[in-house]
Structure 1
């Protein structure tokens, strides 16, 4: 069922008391005084308003499964009543993204929580996550001030972890996340790869960190997408075992050659732009395994991109190529 946007001023023949979805996105509301909150609601979306407190009537919505307070003016004090609203204990999705939080709120009463989002706040520590239900499948804490990965060891059902744009220096305490499929750590201060023995990750981003080496991915044979742009990597290595890799982004590094991917049979997207690769000579052998599969390649802003007949040479090497740099072919 699609969300129905509620017109606060319009009359309707439908009985609002039986509604299950209420979308008040972008109404710029300062409070909910003028809004009816049917007790039958299962989803309440208050994205992009001016709310600085929680309407106590929300505490009576015993059927509520999804609550979004994204992009409001919610502070730590304003969100604190949630911790005592036991009527909401079956909530599955809580979005507090883009508010004014400085710490992880107490959400321990939500014993069935699946999605928890506190990105784009001012959170300085992951302290408090230890009290979040181990049912959690998706955790988003990007664009905060977090310096250490901690209190996540009990999340053995977690499939997505987003900690990008923080102040992390070390990859740690990931070993129990045995069901993790996606790990997003871009825009941090990480120097070394340490996946703590995890082998089931399918999507991994370490863009815009301080890596100088690609070692550490060798055991991640399930990996399908790897994003390593904007680091200080000078050599492609540790990739030959990533037999399921479809997307590889190593743009904006210090690479001088294309190495260790000749046996990758499923590679579709290869981003190598903004490096120091001198020549197209040998590229056919370097990407031999995926020569038929490759549909997108970026090599612009390398010396080799100034080669005569640059585009024609690449199109001859890769018969099914659909895009070279910004040029798209039908």
Structure 2
């Protein structure tokens, strides 16, 4: 009986650990051998001061010495430092290793004098501080030799007082630094972060990032909605792969064309999107526009480009896309494009979006034999035509158009979703869509429907038998 109880407890423990796999990082699977010994997770997961999700079963199997079982059956933290105890008791989420060292925690909506207290956590690797009120407008971070990730953001005005972040000595492992949503105007000693590969200063008041050019390991840079107007030459960043600068004041990216590592650039609603005339050959994703562009820049022969977004622009003509034969996604939403043309080289295109443009006719798609998703919603299109080559189409959206008749789609054997919601459909041959999963008709017409495949087949059957 005793052995059955032990097995039941072990089985329940395994179930609990399995359910926590999404919440835990670096989880090690539980292993049961012939002697019924269990090796559990490398980290404990504690939320709101208690390991309530783990409960007693984990305690009965294995427990770090720094954890104690409370009278109500929960695991809690035992520490000799009252200040640390107070800090972690208010934490939103905590991770411990098997020795009981705090290696990660998140803190929200707390009042903090500063971060010097964290020196008592020598194994801390990840620190997230969100909407906390600091007594000083200057935040200092230093002497956390195990720290790999630091995220500081204060989105609300009442706590939004941080003007400067000082990065002191003793941060040799810091790889990810996020300083967002605050009136930050200065970061000092950034060059000390020799291993930093991710930097995010979005939604700040920074006009310049001092010593940025010394971050030779930098791979990802986010300056969205910042006040930064200029970055150092791209020649200083031999490993940089991603630049996200949406809604920023960037006017140009010096020497961007010479970069051999840049894979993604986002310049939506920035002047730089209009000023840059040549992009690097290594580029795989590009997002430009936001009311800035009047003409598509020269993107010819960007052989590695896979995703291009030119949304919300004043561009009226499709041009300068020759040689983009590896492009998979093309997005012209909310632009002023008037005609489908200039796409003949995009033979591998899979997704094409013309939603809310000035297109009036479906044409110019003959070469796009691999197209899977086509969106022409909220356009002036009045007839389904020009799609004879689109045998691989899976989704076709013609919402809020001038379409009156459903036709010319029977050859699309792979079509699974088709929508004409809001269009004045008058003729509907359901045989055109007999193998479809989802059919969405026009609201306010006799053909308004959203049918699963089996219902649609039944509808077709009854219609053929003149029972409808």
SS at match of 1:24: strand
Look up the match of 1:74.
184
Query: Structure 2: how far apart are the matches of 1:25 and 1:171?
Result: 36
Look up the match of 1:162.
266
Query: Structure 2: how far apart are the matches of 1:222 and 1:301?
Result: 31
Deviations 1:255-308 (A, max 9, x none): 12111213423222211112211223xx2xx222333x3232222222113131
Query: Structure 1: how far apart are the matches of 2:347 and 2:362?
Result: 17
Query: Structure 1: how far apart are the matches of 2:135 and 2:440?
Result: 49
Query: Structure 2: how far apart are the matches of 1:325 and 1:171?
Result: 44
CA contact (8 A) 2:301 2:322 kept: no
Query: Structure 2: how far apart are the matches of 1:269 and 1:188?
Result: 25
**Which runs of 5 or more residues in structure 1 are unaligned?**
none
Q: Which has the larger radius of gyration?
A: 2
SS at match of 2:257: coil
Query: Structure 2: how far apart are the matches of 1:229 and 1:89?
Result: 41
Query: Structure 2: how far apart are the matches of 1:148 and 1:72?
Result: 25
CA contact (8 A) 1:167 1:188 kept: no
Q: CA deviation at 1:60?
A: 2.2
**Which runs of 5 or more residues in structure 2 are unaligned?**
1-23, 27-44, 50-85, 90-95, 103-120, 404-422, 443-448, 453-468
Look up the match of 1:119.
224
Query: Structure 1: how far apart are the matches of 2:388 and 2:434?
Result: 10
Query: Structure 2: how far apart are the matches of 1:103 and 1:185?
Result: 22
Identify which of 48, 61, 71 aligns with 2:154: 48
Structure with bigger RCO (C-alpha 8 Å, 6+ apart)? 1
Query: Structure 1: how far apart are the matches of 2:451 and 2:143?
Result: 52
SS at match of 2:177: strand
Trace 1:256-295 onto structure 2 (pairs within 5 A). 256-280=360-384, 283=385, 286-291=386-391, 293-295=392-394
Look up the match of 1:65.
175
- Aligned CA-pair RMSD: 3.1
Query: Structure 1: how far apart are the matches of 2:450 and 2:233?
Result: 45
SS at match of 2:352: strand
Q: Does 1:185 align with 2:288?
A: yes
Q: Does 1:9 align with 2:87?
A: yes
CA contact (8 A) 1:296 1:324 kept: no
Deviations 1:139-162 (A, max 9, x none): 111101334454423421011101
- Quickly say closer, same or farther: Cα 1:38–1:149, change in 2 above 3 A: closer
TM-score, length-normalised on structure 1? Answer: 0.83
TM-score, length-normalised on structure 2? Answer: 0.60
SS at match of 1:108: helix
Work out the number of aligned pairs and report it.
315
Which structure carries more strand by proportion? 2
